[in-house]
Amino acid sequence: MNYEAVIGLEVHVQVKTRSKIFTRVAAGYGHEPNTLTDPVVLALPGTLPVMNKAALDAIIKAGLLLGCDIAPVCKWDRKNYFYPDSPKNYQISQYDQPICLGGAVEIELPGSARNVMGEHKKIPLTRIHLEEDVGKLNHGTSDSLVDYNRAGTPLMEIVSDPAMHTADEAYAYLTSLRATMIYGGISDCDMEKGQLRCDANISIRPVGETKLGVKVELKNLNSISFVRDGIAHEIKRQIAVLERGGIIVQETRDYDGMTGTSQSLRSKEMAHDYRYFPDPDLMPVKVDDAWKQRLAAECPELPFDKQRRFIADYQLPYTLTSVLVWDRALADYFEEAAKLSGKPQAAGNWIVNDLLRELGNVGRGLSPTSSDAVSGVKPDLQTCRIRPAHIAALVKLVDSGAVLTNAAKEIFVEMFATGETPEVIADRKGLKAAPTDSNELEQWCRDSIAANAKALAEFKAGKDSAINAFKGPVMKAAKGKANPKLVDETLRRLLATG
Amino acid sequence: MSSSPDLNIDHIAKLARLALTPEEKAKFAQQLGDVLHHIEQLKKVDVSHVEPTAHAAPVFNVWADDVARPGLPVERALQNAPTQREHMVVVPKVVE
């Protein structure tokens, strides 16, 4: 029997704020344990939460970027449970009135080849709500240690519809969602720092069946690649269970990306009873149009929109755009170089092929369809000595024929090291095509034409490419340093008049 | 007043992490049942003309700007912890 998988993702994204969501102690990662707490975080008696305005701005912005409806009124609820990661014994969350409803994440599936754009789809969202993150438990052999630094960090829960069917779709979804959040300045989404965490709900059903199968929740998918691997593994596991006559039990499984295996955490026979109720300590939030409009004005163009624009406006090939658009700083850098040079594709080639190589191959993996999107370190354009104006100047030097391609490559490497302009380097290192005395060049051209009667006849007969036969001897006479454009011009002038 | 048939005192005690004696169970089942009965009475009130509200006071959008300030020194933060190690609170091993 053929089976179809149904996948929904629950993604938690930490909002990048200076202070915590309900109190003003600093939020942050990598601090000494329990140094980012205060009486509100520790839920000491008599404390009251006060909402962080920046966290609300961030989630509304996230909702606008993803095309969600922003609820005109939303409220805060207490989710009650006993676990040492939560000092209050409840987590402040949003239950039945989340701030964002609906919306979608645009994804791109792998294309038929690396240089071919893949199919685009929109994965619908159910909702996004805001809540507080909880503390971190460090499990030892005989006890656990609790660090409350993370507790109270603003956290968005982004819930997709069960609308994905393959591990590749889930991977593309996460990559796109992550890029959107980074573009919007909402979160840095560093999975190693827990700023983006993902749980997957997976079920399978016979193809054609409309009822959902029993779902299994997969946890601890702590890199985007592990999400893809974990889901692919879980789909296979469920099919194997059914095919040997077993039944899928509703459970939570822990995926170990290092070994590629999963194990059951606990049976989920009974839905959790969190006894939600409205938090009496927090006032509801009303979002009016003026607030939404102010945030909409701050929303950047999203990567896929940018990609479509780069292809349409700059005639860039897909492969270049798929590297450029996933990093906002890189895309901005390209646009500046493209405008200054007037040659977008040449500027794009220098940036994608040479600049990223010089930055330590760090550009690889920025594309959503590459396999190691997570491990790709962002190019450090901030400190890079080559500015867009350098790229534009180099493009112009090559385009005018003043510098030949090989010399330009050498100039680029030098430029990366010193930050000098390409003109300065070309002059200093003698890399300019020979400025050639025009009389000398003209003489070489005359000699070359005179020495090749066959090519001359062909050219006169209308075979334009025959002109190339004259160029070799000229370049040889010029010891390879003649400006090819000038050589071409001179030859044509002589051929036309002679 | 007798306890409500909807009330599962064992379940509630478990959720609240309370170990109750049979006598306590009977007593609390009675008391909580009375509360539920009272709620049933309230449900009879016609509220069709009243806007639902999440809060008793009609106040919205209470917040502060995102300005971080120092928190508690770790010694103060942990002074109520029954046991601590490596500046963290020690709890029984919990794995979820």
What pLDDT score does A378 carry? 52
Domain annotation covers residue B54: no
Which residues of chain A are under the pLDDT cut of 50? 267-269, 362-377
Instruction: Tell me the one-letter amino acid at A81.
Output: Y
What pLDDT score does A437 carry? 67
Selecting from A32, A54, A144 the residue whose C-beta is nearest the C-beta of B94 gives A144
Q: Is A71 on the interface with B (CB under 8 A)?
A: no
Residues 146-205 of A with CB under 8 A from B: 146-148
Q: Do A280 and A316 have their domain in common?
A: no
- What chain A residue is nearest to B74 in terms of C-alpha separation? A35
Expressed as residue numbers, the domain containing A350 is 303-429
Instruction: Please give the ipTM for the structure prediction.
Output: 0.84
Which residues of chain B are under the pLDDT cut of 70? 1-5, 95-96
Q: What is the pTM of this model?
A: 0.84
Task: State the smallest CA–CA distance between residue B31 and chain A in angstroms.
Answer: 19
We report the CATH number of the domain holding residue A475 as 1.10.10.410
Q: A283–B59: do the CB atoms touch at under 8 Å?
A: yes
Domain annotation covers residue B31: yes
Domain annotation covers residue B19: yes
What pLDDT score does A191 carry? 94
Percent of chain A having pLDDT more than 90?
74
Q: CA nearest A168: which of A108, A78, A214, A240?
A: A108
Residues A311-340 as b/e (b if ≥16 CB within 10 A, e otherwise) read beebebebbbbbbbbbbbebbebbbbbbeb
Q: A145–B69: do the CB atoms touch at under 8 Å?
A: no
What pLDDT score does A355 carry? 92
Q: CA nearest A221: which of A258, A270, A178, A173?
A: A258
Q: Do A134 and A259 have their domain in common?
A: yes
Distance CA B48, CA A462 (A): 91
- How many domains does chain B fold into? 1
Q: B87–A26: do the CB atoms touch at under 8 Å?
A: no
Q: Do A337 and A270 have their domain in common?
A: no
Q: Do A117 and A249 have their domain in common?
A: yes
Q: Do A225 and A310 have their domain in common?
A: no
Selecting from B61, B74, B95 the residue whose C-beta is nearest the C-beta of A286 gives B61
Task: State the smallest CA–CA distance between residue B50 and chain A in angstroms.
Answer: 17
Q: Do A188 and A79 have their domain in common?
A: yes
Q: Is A379 left (phi over 0), alpha (psi -120 to 50) or beta?
A: beta
What pLDDT score does A169 carry? 97
**Which chain A residues are closer than 8 Å to B71 by Cβ?**
25-26, 35-38, 41
Expressed as residue numbers, the domain containing B13 is 9-43
Q: Do A188 and A316 have their domain in common?
A: no
